[in-house]
């Protein structure tokens, strides 16, 4: 019992640079008070004195503002910094060397009995105001950023931020002066924001599409410059005919203007009238109308 209390005091020294003396920790740290009351209440709970366990748990909540259900399972090296507003549910399981800050909720999302609260692995840090909801598992060495809302399992060795929580970075492995790396509140230096990163990707895609559009417009302007006199005619059969300075283009066939236009037709107008006349004949009108149109064609397009 006293060995465990001594270890709990050493944990405070290791993780809170503001701690100066043992007496200060015993008198002025609500996280330490809540942990001592929890251990007593948990002993009563394990010996089927559940009402007495709940009574001690409630007294600890009144004294510290930290609510730890006596049925929760908490490993060695547990530290609650500041502590006000922390809620730890009945079926919560917490591994060794876990740190949580004020305003953290390890809550359930079901009214059914059984496992309904989170499981935290070893060396987990949960930042201030974070919510971990439901029977999810937080992997070893994971970091939950402040005010994150976690509703799904978290792998080992990652940092999670946002609502809902998203993995943003793998935890760096290394040493700082005086011991192992300890990112307070689950925050690392230069940690990327997943929302900003998503917006940046969208903007980059927009710039890429703008570049492609400018390239297409440039090719279209170059084509119009190369063929400034192009005109298009849509005959009755729906095919496109382009009349250009160098010839008549219909599909993939190219015929010279001199072959298509009679001597009496001058310029593009004569070629257009000739082609439109052929289209009206191909549409299948009556024989008399066809004969009349052929005569018009002969008059307009030559023999």
Cα 61 to Cα 71: distance, rounded to the nearest angstrom: 15
The pLDDT, as a whole number, for residue 215 is 87
The pLDDT, as a whole number, for residue 194 is 66
The pLDDT, as a whole number, for residue 184 is 60
Please list the pLDDT of the chain residue by residue as tens digits (303 residues). Answer: 778 888 889 999 988 888 899 999 999 999 999 999 999 999 999 999 999 999 999 999 999 999 999 999 999 889 998 889 999 999 999 999 999 999 999 998 888 888 999 999 999 999 898 999 999 999 999 999 888 899 999 999 888 888 888 887 766 554 443 334 556 655 555 666 667 777 888 888 898 888 888 888 888 888 877 766 555 555 555 555 555 544 545 444 444 444 444 444 444 455 455 555 555 555 555 555 555 555 555 555 444
Residue 239 contacts residue 251 (beta carbons within 8 Å) = yes
Residue 57 contacts residue 41 (beta carbons within 8 Å) = yes
Q: CB within 8 A of 174, min separation 6: which ones?
A: 181
Cα 34 to Cα 234: distance, rounded to the nearest angstrom: 87
Q: Which DSSP string do the residues of 184-233 spell out, in sequence order?
A: GGG--TTPPPHHHHHHHHHHHHHHHHHHHHHHHHHHHHHHHHH-TT-EEE
Q: CB within 8 A of 266, min separation 6: which ones?
A: none
Nearest partner of 68 among 40, 49, 110, judged by Cα: 40
The pLDDT, as a whole number, for residue 178 is 38
Residue 70 contacts residue 44 (beta carbons within 8 Å) = yes
Enumerate the domain spans of the chain.
2-191, 193-226, 228-301
Q: Is the dihedral of CA 261, 263, 267, 272 positive or negative?
A: negative
The pLDDT, as a whole number, for residue 176 is 43
Cα 75 to Cα 43: distance, rounded to the nearest angstrom: 14
Q: Which DSSP string do the residues of 15-28 spell out, in sequence order?
A: H-TT---HHHHHHH
Q: What is the token pair recorded at 118?
A: 């989170």
Q: Edge to edge, what strands does the sheet with 93-94 contain? A: 73-74, 93-94, 119-120, 137-138
Judged by phi (left if over 0) then psi (alpha if -120 to 50, else beta), residue 83 lies in left
The CATH code that applies to domain 2-191 is 2.160.10.10
Residue 235 contacts residue 276 (beta carbons within 8 Å) = yes
Question: What is the distance between the terminal CA atoms of the chain, rounded to a whole angstrom?
Answer: 120
Residue 61 contacts residue 40 (beta carbons within 8 Å) = no
């Amino acid at each position: 019992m006293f060995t465990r209390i001594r270890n709990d005091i050493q944990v405070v020294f290791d993780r809170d640079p503001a701690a100066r003396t043992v007496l200060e920790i015993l008198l002025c740290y609500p996280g330490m008070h809540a942990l001592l009351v929890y251990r007593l209440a948990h002993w009563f709970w394990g010996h089927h004195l559940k009402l007495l366990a709940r009574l001690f748990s409630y007294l600890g909540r009144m004294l510290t503002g930290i609510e730890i259900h006596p049925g929760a399972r908490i490993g060695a090296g547990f530290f609650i910094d500041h502590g006000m507003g922390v809620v730890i549910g009945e079926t919560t399981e917490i591994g060794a060397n876990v740190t949580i800050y004020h305003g953290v909720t390890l809550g359930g999302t079901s009214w059914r009995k059984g496992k309904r609260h989170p499981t935290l692995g070893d060396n987990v840090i949960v930042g201030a105001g974070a919510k971990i909801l439901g029977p999810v598992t937080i992997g070893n060495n994971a970091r939950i950023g402040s005010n994150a809302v976690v509703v799904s399992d978290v792998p080992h060795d990652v940092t999670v931020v946002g609502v809902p929580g998203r993995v943003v970075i793998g935890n760096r492995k290394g040493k700082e002066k005086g011991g192992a790396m300890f990112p307070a509140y689950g925050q690392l230096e230069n940690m990327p924001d997943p929302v900003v990163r998503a917006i940046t990707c969208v903007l980059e895609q927009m710039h890429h599409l703008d570049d492609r559009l400018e390239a297409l417009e440039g090719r279209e302007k170059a084509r119009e410059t190369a063929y400034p006199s192009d005109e298009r005619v849509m005959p009755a059969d729906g095919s496109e005919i382009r009349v250009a300075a160098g010839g008549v283009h219909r599909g993939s066939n190219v015929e010279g203007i001199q072959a298509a236009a009679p001597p009496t037709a001058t310029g593009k107008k004569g070629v257009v009238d000739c082609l439109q006349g052929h289209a009206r004949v191909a549409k299948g009108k009556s024989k008399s109308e066809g004969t009349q149109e052929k005569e018009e064609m002969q008059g307009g397009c030559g023999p």
